[in-house]
Amino acid sequence: MAERSPATRRTLWLVLSLVFAFLYIPIAVLVALSFNEGGLPTAWSGFSLKWYASLAGNSAILSAALNTLIVALVSTAIATLLGTLLAIGIEMRRQYGKGLEALIFAPMIIPDIVLAIALLSFFSMLNLTMGLHTIILAHVVFNLAFVCSVVRARLKSFDWSIVEASADLGASALTTFRRVTLPVIAPAVIAGALLAFTLSVDEFIIAFFTAGAGRASTTLPMQIYAMIRFGITPEINALATIVMAVSITALTLSQRLNRGIIGQ
Amino acid sequence: MKHLPSRSSLLMAPALAWLAALMVVPCALVLALAFFRRGIYGGIEYTFTLENFGLVFDPLYAGIFLNSARIAGTATLIAVVIGYAAAYAIAAAPRRWQPVFLFFAVLPFWSNYLIRTYAWIVLLNREGLITQLLRWFGYTGEPPSMLYTEGAVIAGLVYNYLPFVILACYAPLSRLNPELAEASRDLGASAATTFRRVILPLTVPGIAAGAVFVFVLSIGNFVTPALLGGGRFQMIGNLVYDQFLTANDWPFGAALAMALIAIMLLVLMAQALAANRASGHAAQVGGDTDG
């Protein structure tokens, strides 16, 4: 960009500092409080891990964490498979209708609450007993759309003639996929899977509506929501810190893989 | 190329079947539900009616729609102003730092939404950080009530969706040809005029994309009004939630959800229009510099 006066540059740095302060202070306060011995938000009484230890003894939180892990792993596995196949299928075609594009884009923009009530109505109309399995069915819907969009971005620069060459040389479709296509798209598939995993771990509203009655299929976000409604406790701070650390790690990894793609 | 369309269809089939069964059919079902009557005991009576849509325009509920639109609109405006300024500052930073700044601007967006909202309860509650800071500066009065206000809801929405606005505005700003701004200055335009007549129009698509995102997600939001508004500030999302989980009036809830989708589609159409007009303007500005 054009040359800037020192005053302009100072203003720009000030803007950046203020925005980053706005973005990070709330999170930083939360993380700091999770290590506060006294547990009160009002006074710092020394560093302690006791709130983390008390989480480990909270069976409701542990079972919610286990449920979340099951939902996230299973829905990510299904979504990664379906989303990747979908991406390859679309990109293989030279043209596709706007309707198809809209259908794949829809799960990413439909308001959560709408998809949540739609699935609730649907499952109850079918008289399906709801539980972890219905949350998984629901999470695959948006997860596969995200995986598909990440893999498609990678396939945009894919040279399809190498697939043809492989076929001409006598490789079966499966061999070609395994030896030619997959190595090229693998980073994007993993990046998409990590994204899907994080989205599923963090998803609250759709899980809340499709979990059915009873506490058996409570996921971590549902547990956190219930705890927050009850009030501020040092345990939520500790739990929040762990959940944030997990999703930020997964997404940083995903981002790195994607950058690798751009770098090539 | 001899792409086999049949193989492509085969690859797409499982995912499309999943979307059809678990998105298209359920959404169609909700649309259908909206035309039925609520049963006496909360069930669904299968007689055709338009009552539910009429009820959406009932002053009570229309008021909540307007309220939601106002809150979402305010949040959008604030997020766009802050986000644009941040994106501008990032685009003006040294090239090698830009990806780093951008990454850290978006990072909070990837952490749990509930937790980011909860962080504001910690900040804004009566004994929260802000009250502590005020005390530290010598304030001795009653702690200000900031939580459970409309302002808290707006702050939460802005905080949660700001990263996306930064991302959306950064894209066109980073692609901006610096020669355009230079040419404008050389021709005697002030910095403000250059910004208003050259930079701003060229970055409208980014602003529109960011604004649409914040508005659509805010107006259908359910968590933020529930947690930061303390249930006192109902938005459409909360209304839909209530119809399904407490009032047990699914047909009306379905009609509300359809109204939400209608608003979303209108906003998306407006965005497409804005983007079209902006690309027309871009061609015009580009043409001027060529000539």
pLDDT in tens, A120-143: 999 999 999 999 999 999 999 999
Q: What tokens does A131 get?
A: 């539980």
Cβ–Cβ gap A1/B24 under 8 Å: no
In B, which residues are within 8 Å of A244 by CB distance? Answer: 111-112, 115
Neighbours of B13 (CB within 10 A): 14
Q: Is residue B64 part of a domain?
A: no
Say if residues B257 and B240 touch (Cβ distance below 8 Å).
yes
- For chain A, how far is it from start to end, CA to CA, in angstroms? 27
Q: Is residue B70 part of a domain?
A: no
For residues B241-250, give the mean pLDDT: 90
Chain B: closest CA distance from residue A202 (Å): 5
In B, which residues are within 8 Å of A12 by CB distance? Answer: 88-89, 92-93
Which residues fall within 8 angstroms of residue A60, CB to CB, at 6 or more apart? A215, A218, A223
Which residues fall within 8 angstroms of residue B223, CB to CB, at 6 or more apart? A204, A205, A225, B113, B114, B117
Cβ–Cβ gap B15/A82 under 8 Å: yes
Q: Is residue B234 part of a domain?
A: yes
Q: Is residue B60 part of a domain?
A: no
Q: Is residue A198 part of a domain?
A: yes
Chain A: closest CA distance from residue B172 (Å): 13
pLDDT in tens, B164-222: 999 999 999 988 887 888 888 888 888 888 888 888 888 888 899 899 999 999 998 98
Q: ipTM more than 0.85?
A: yes
Q: What tokens does B74 get?
A: 């305010």
Q: Is residue A19 part of a domain?
A: no
- Where does chain A have alpha helices with state H? 6-34, 50-56, 59-92, 98-109, 112-125, 132-155, 161-168, 173-176, 182-202, 205-210, 220-230, 234-263
Cβ–Cβ gap A33/B5 under 8 Å: no
For residues B266-272, give the mean pLDDT: 89
Q: Is residue B85 part of a domain?
A: yes
Closest alpha carbon to B79 in B211, B236, B257, B168: B211
What 3-state DSSP class applies to A153? helix
Q: Is residue B174 part of a domain?
A: yes
Residue A190 has pLDDT above 50, yes or no: yes
Domain that holds residue A222: 47-263
Residue B291: its pLDDT value, please?
33
pLDDT in tens, B25-37: 999 999 999 999 8
Cβ–Cβ gap A4/B16 under 8 Å: no
Chain A: closest CA distance from residue B275 (Å): 18
A114: nearest CB among B103, B176, B260: B260
Which CATH number fits the domain that encloses residue B167?
A: 1.10.3720.10
In B, which residues are within 8 Å of A225 by CB distance? Answer: 114, 223
Chain B: closest CA distance from residue A78 (Å): 10
Q: How many domains does chain B contain in total?
A: 1
Give B39's pLDDT tier (boundaries 50, 70, 90): confident
Domain that holds residue B204: 75-286
Q: Is residue A222 part of a domain?
A: yes
- For chain B, how far is it from start to end, CA to CA, in angstroms? 41
The whole model's pTM is what? 0.89
Which CATH number fits the domain that encloses residue A82?
A: 1.10.3720.10
Q: How many domains does chain A contain in total?
A: 1
